[in-house]
Structure 1
Amino acid sequence: MSKEKIPIYNIANLAAQPLDSGDFMIESLTSYVGRQPLHIHNAHRHTFYHLVCFTGGKGSHSIDFIQWPVEVGQLYFMVPGQVHSWNFDVRPEGYIIHFTEGFLRGFLLDPNYLDRFSFFSGHAADCVVRLASPLREKVVTLLAEMTDEFHGHSGGGVNPDLLRTQLVQLFLLVQSGVAAPRADSTAATTQKQQLLLALRKLMDQHYKTLRRPSEYAGLLYITPNHLNSLCRDLLGRSAGEVIRDRVLLEAKRLLTNAGMTVAEIGYELNFQDNSYFNRFFKKYEGVTPDEFRRKNVMK
């Protein structure tokens, strides 16, 4: 049985005109959607960071199996590895950007710079942002300027460093509109958020083998009670539920791949007993793995 995973695209697969290094592109969304093959509307992953700003259109989009309607002024941000799909009723308008981690690595001294932006957390609930005026207009104007620069319409050839500067400016503008700082925000709150980010990175690395809060607490050098309190304070869920949800998310991602049987997916996720995997999935998702697959499998 083939072990081929859900389709994964790089920028060169999708861009009409990437930079020479293939690590950045920006394009009008109407143009981009119009020239893409139909299969990208089914669930797939990217090897790069991906963001979209909608200025028009109707339909929906899904990030890690959570669906949102297309709305004017909405932006969504994705990190490498997330699963998404589109379903447009009216061809959308706006802008789309793809960039790799390497595009900014040599430009910024801090290799973890993107971690400061909540919309790059890699968690679907944080990925979608709706901007109000006048910030929305500022963002759209900046995206138009970036598009002109990328396609050489500004004269003098493409300047990658100018695009890098504009990209960081875009992130800062959007983050300023996500949420105003709380009056009671403290260093302790920031420390909790950094711990949560570290937990999420550890779960991404070890979700197949580590399932107990005590194991992650040990890696974070905190007690299991501290970890549980952290998750309840910031997410409203226990540490065990957060860890379980990460396993469930990966199960759903793999189930969109018709090249793996349910038993193979259970084994891939370290469920030695296929019946246990089926019970686990149905208990927390409400349907069996086969039922979920029938609803979400690529056509």
Structure 2
Amino acid sequence: MNKIPVLEQCTVSYQEDKHFLADRLEIYLGKNNNLVFPHRHNFYQMVLFLSGGGKHEIDFREYQISRGQVYFMGPGQVHTWMFEDNITGFIVNFDIDYFKSLLLQPDYIENLNLFSTLQTGVFDLDEVVVREVTSLLHQLIDLNTQAVGIDVKRSLLLYILLKLDQAYRPSHSNKTIDYHMVLIKNFKSLVDQHYKALHLPKEYAELLFVTPNHLNSVCKEYLGQQAGEVIRNRILLEAKRLLILPDWTVSQVAYELNFNDNSYFTKFFKKIVGMTPEEFRRSQWKQN
């Protein structure tokens, strides 16, 4: 059965360094005009839009493109774009381990708000930040044409990421942020690993050494959802990812997600989405 294609960095990088790419977005699009959509990446991607229109989707959430909009996407997320007019901007791709030998904390990058699964990685910059980041990205692109070491590029990219992380405005409050945010991050990480097998909040609460009530209250405060909703939404996301594949039947999707039968999966899906899996599939195919 076909799966959503996973693009590796080396397949889209036309520059000498196959673990890192920084370029003007319009040049990148011209050199990668045969991209298959939707697709996933096995690398991190950042895009800053300067002009043009259209929309892009990350895990079935749609965003209208505007000047100053920036998005950050981590490995594994499903992505597509539909550009209009003459799109301009910047794009940066880098491998998961790009900063591994530079940083003492290997997971430092994935813990930035920009790539956190707790937040959406799409937001708007004010014009002052747009101009500042644009200048820095020009410098980063220029480094690819110079005989400089990898640490110079990594250091400048890290500075840009930190600058943008400062500009990011999370929706949650800062009170007791350390403990609660770590708890939610660990919870969502466990859900990503076990959503097919573990469906109940109490099962995750046991793994996290907290009570189900505490897990629910923290999720409600910081995510606006009960823990059970987080689990169901993760199952639903994977269902949507599989349903858009033409070679997968609804029964196969239900089996892949450990539903006992097709009818139970259909009821689960329709209750949340408002349409059956087949209706969702047809609506997605019609859009594409």
Deviations 1:250-284 (A, max 9, x none): 11111121121111111001112011111111110
Is the Cα–Cα contact under 8 Å of residues 6 and 45 in structure 1 kept in the other structure? yes
Quote how far apart the aligned CAs of 1:122 are. 3.5
TM (normalized to structure 1)? 0.91
Q: Are 2:168 and 1:174 equivalent residues in the alignment?
A: no
Closer/same/farther in 2, CA of residues 203 and 180 from structure 1, 3 Å limit: closer
Q: Which residue of structure 2 lines up, in the alignment, with residue 209 of structure 1?
A: 197
Q: CA RMSD in A?
A: 1.8
Unaligned runs of 5+ in 2: none
Is the Cα–Cα contact under 8 Å of residues 82 and 122 in structure 1 kept in the other structure? no
Please list, as runs of the form range in 1=range in 2, the aligned pairs for 1:217-296 lying within 5 A after superposition: 217-296=205-284
Instruction: From 141, 150, 155, give the equivalent of 1:160.
Output: 150
Instruction: From 149, 154, 162, give the equivalent of 2:143.
Output: 149
Q: Are 2:26 and 1:15 equivalent residues in the alignment?
A: no
Q: Are 2:114 and 1:119 equivalent residues in the alignment?
A: yes
Please list, as runs of the form range in 1=range in 2, the aligned pairs for 1:79-98 lying within 5 A after superposition: 79-98=74-93
Deviations 1:197-216 (A, max 9, x none): 11111111011111100011
Q: Which residue of structure 1 lines up, in the alignment, with residue 184 of structure 2?
A: 196
Quote how far apart the aligned CAs of 1:235 are. 1.0
TM (normalized to structure 2)? 0.94
Inter-partner Cα distance in structure 2 for 1:284 and 1:268 = 19
Instruction: From 117, 121, 130, give the equivalent of 2:124.
Output: 130
Q: Are 2:13 and 1:33 equivalent residues in the alignment?
A: no
Q: Secondary structure at the match of 1:291?
A: helix
Inter-partner Cα distance in structure 1 for 2:65 and 2:148 = 31
Moved beyond 6 Å, runs of 4+: none
Quote how far apart the aligned CAs of 1:39 are. 4.3
Inter-partner Cα distance in structure 1 for 2:93 and 2:248 = 29
Is the Cα–Cα contact under 8 Å of residues 78 and 122 in structure 1 kept in the other structure? no
Closer/same/farther in 2, CA of residues 13 and 115 from structure 1, 3 Å limit: closer
Letter in 2 for 1:167: L
Letter in 2 for 1:194: V
Deviations 1:81-106 (A, max 9, x none): 00010111113111111111111111
Closer/same/farther in 2, CA of residues 74 and 241 from structure 1, 3 Å limit: same
Q: How many residues align?
A: 287
